[in-house]
Amino acid sequence: MEVHHHSHKPKNWKEYITEFIMLFAAVTLGFFAENIREHLAESHKKQETLEAVARDFEKDINQLEFHKSFDLNKIKICDSIDNILTKDPNLIDQQDYYRLVNSFMNFWKFNTNSRSRIESESKGYFSDKENQELAYYISKYNFYLMDFTNNAEMEQEYYMDFYNKNNLIHFVDAEIYKQSAHFPRSIIPHKIGIRQIKPEYKEDFKLYTTGIRVMNEIGLYNIDSLQFYAKKAINLINKKN
Q: What is the pLDDT of residues 190-202, one digit of tens each?
A: 899 998 988 888 9
The pLDDT of residue 146 is 96
b/e sequence 4-15, b meaning 16+ C-beta within 10 Å: eeeeeeeeeeee
Low-confidence stretches of the chain (pLDDT < 70) are 1-44, 128, 165-166, 241
For the chain, percent of residues with pLDDT exceeding 70 = 80
For the chain, percent of residues with pLDDT exceeding 90 = 43
The pLDDT of residue 166 is 61
What pTM does this model have? Answer: 0.78
The pLDDT of residue 17 is 66
Could you tell me which of 175, 163, 168 has the C-alpha nearest to residue 197? 168
The pLDDT of residue 212 is 94
CA distance 207 to 202: 9
Q: Would you say 229 and 130 are in contact if contact means Cβ atoms under 8 Å apart?
A: no
The pLDDT of residue 66 is 96
CA distance 66 to 60: 10
Q: What is the pLDDT of residues 50-71, one digit of tens each?
A: 888 899 999 999 999 999 999 9
The pLDDT of residue 122 is 82
Q: Calculate the alpha carbon distances from 28 to 14, 35, 77, 187, 224 in Å.
A: 21, 11, 72, 79, 54
Q: Calculate the alpha carbon distances from 54 to 61, 65, 135, 156 in Å.
A: 11, 17, 13, 30
The pLDDT of residue 36 is 57
The pLDDT of residue 158 is 87
* Phi and psi at residue 33, to the nearest 5°: -60, -40
Q: Would you say 85 and 195 are in contact if contact means Cβ atoms under 8 Å apart?
A: no
The pLDDT of residue 221 is 97
The pLDDT of residue 29 is 62
The pLDDT of residue 14 is 63
The pLDDT of residue 147 is 96
Chain centroid to CA 72: 19
The pLDDT of residue 241 is 67
The pLDDT of residue 213 is 95
